[in-house]
Amino acid sequence: MEQATFAAGCFWGVEAAFRGVPGVHTTSVGYIGGMTANPTYNEVCAGTSGHAEATRVTFNPKEVSYAQLLQIFWQCHDPTQLNRQGPDVGTQYRSAIFFHSSEQQATASASKAQQENGGQHDQVIVTEITACATYHPAEEYHQQYLEKQGRAHCHKQ
């Protein structure tokens, strides 16, 4: 098993995008990339901890590749929005790929270049690609939140 960590806005929807993918063993939501130890949801939402809401994916690379997970990442959010996704605004909603190995770093960089050159986006991609830092699992009530609420999406349609 390998791990991948992505930040793409509200972690509830990002987690839902990965949960049903064949080869994904587990998902969890949490906080990464900040400057405080043991951040809470309230601190992250207030923007005082510097953390991003993130989803950690544990996957079997024999069943789903990291490159395939990156495609899901690009599709589940707008990587051209700086520190926001839809109605959610703040640095905790930034677009970021936190790589766990040099291979993931190279794959993520190539994937980002492909997105930048592919003509899918009218604006500059602002997604950060950075080494995986300490990941803090979010409070239990956030794990699989949408499933617990019987919802398929974050925002009402």
- The rounded Cα 141 to chain-centroid distance in angstroms is 18
- The full set of domain ranges for the chain reads 2-149
pLDDT of amino acid 5: 98
State what percent of residues in the chain have pLDDT above 70.
92
What are the strands of the beta sheet with 2-8, ordered from one edge? Answer: 128-131, 95-99, 2-8, 52-59, 24-32, 136-137
For the annotated catalytic residues, the residue numbers are 10
Q: How is residue 89 written in tokens?
A: 């605004």
pLDDT of amino acid 135: 96
* Predicted model pTM: 0.92
| Per-residue pLDDT reduced to its tens digit, 81-140 | 999 998 899 999 999 999 999 999 999 999 999 999 988 888 999 999 999 989 999 888
Domain 2-149 has CATH 3.40.50.12500: no
